[in-house]
Chains A and B, each alone.
Chain A
Amino acid sequence: DAGVIQSPRHEVTEMGQEVTLRCKPISGHDYLFWYRQTMMRGLELLIYFNNNVPIDDSGMPEDRFSAKMPNASFSTLKIQPSEPRDSAVYFCASSLTGPTLLGLSNEKLFFGSGTQLSVL
């Protein structure tokens, strides 16, 4: 299995530019999560989808951030316009079960390798 695939691995952009991060979850996984990791705040959940439908987007920082999942095998996280404080590592993750059941079953969360975003 190829695992969760994210692209690009690194993105350097200038403030004000649009940034699009991409994710391909593990085939058959119904849940997809977008996380952001910084030294200051650690790993934060931005949004997650179940069967391509956004379930909880309460972690999305502001309207500059948007996420879509047009089909079961692809999701994007877009930042427009980007700002220096958006610099972080963005992880996509997928799982067979939702957050509540992850601890009650043998299922687990699989992370992609992340996208290191630097906004200058």
Chain B
Amino acid sequence: RKEVEQDPGPFNVPEGATVAFNCTYSNSASQSFFWYRQDCRKEPKLLMSVYSSGNEDGRFTAQLNRASQYISLLIRDSKLSDSATYLCVVNMRKGGGADGLTFGKGTHLIIQP
């Protein structure tokens, strides 16, 4: 099983719709979770951290389900500018005491006018 797995998409969604996608992670000891956004030919940028109780930032809602080992991102009232690749990121401790952020390959979202 891959460490962090996402549906690559693309998700084609009409403007104004609600879209949600999930990410699963393999290491139950994972400590921290994030969603990053990456525009075409640009660097990844933090969209939001994901907290145990779930959190919301404007039109974006992130949820964590530790029992099933997945996190989700929901975007309401989608805008054209939401078109991007959304990277699921998990901090998991690896062998030898080293730790690090493990990135999923991303889910490609296209908002259509």
Contacts and interface: CB of A to CB of B under 8 A. Distances in A.
Interface of A: 35, 41-45, 48, 55-56, 58, 91, 98-100, 102-104, 108-109, 111-114
Contacts of B96: 58
Contact of B31 (A41, A100, A111, A114): A100
A91 B98 contact: no
Contacts of A99: 91, 99-101
B59 interface: no
A91 B43 contact: yes
A58 B32 contact: no
Contacts of A108: 46
Contacts of A114: 43
A97 B34 CA distance: 15
A113 B44 contact: no
Contact of A109 (B42, B101, B102): B101
B47 to A, nearest CB: 10
Contacts, number: 58
B61 interface: no
A42 B99 contact: no
Interface SS of A by simple majority = mixed
Nearest to B4: A42
A45 B101 contact: yes
A20 B54 CA distance: 42
Those 4 A-B pairs whose CB atoms lie nearest each other, nearest first = A103-B32, A42-B105, A111-B43, A56-B98
A54 to B, nearest CB: 11
Contacts of A58: 94, 96, 98
A43 B44 contact: yes
B98 A102 contact: no
A99 B93 CA distance: 9
B107 to A, nearest CB: 11
Contact of A42 (B49, B93, B103): B103
A50 B45 CA distance: 21
A115 B106 CA distance: 20
Contacts of B104: 42
Contacts of B103: 35, 42-44
Nearest to B97: A56
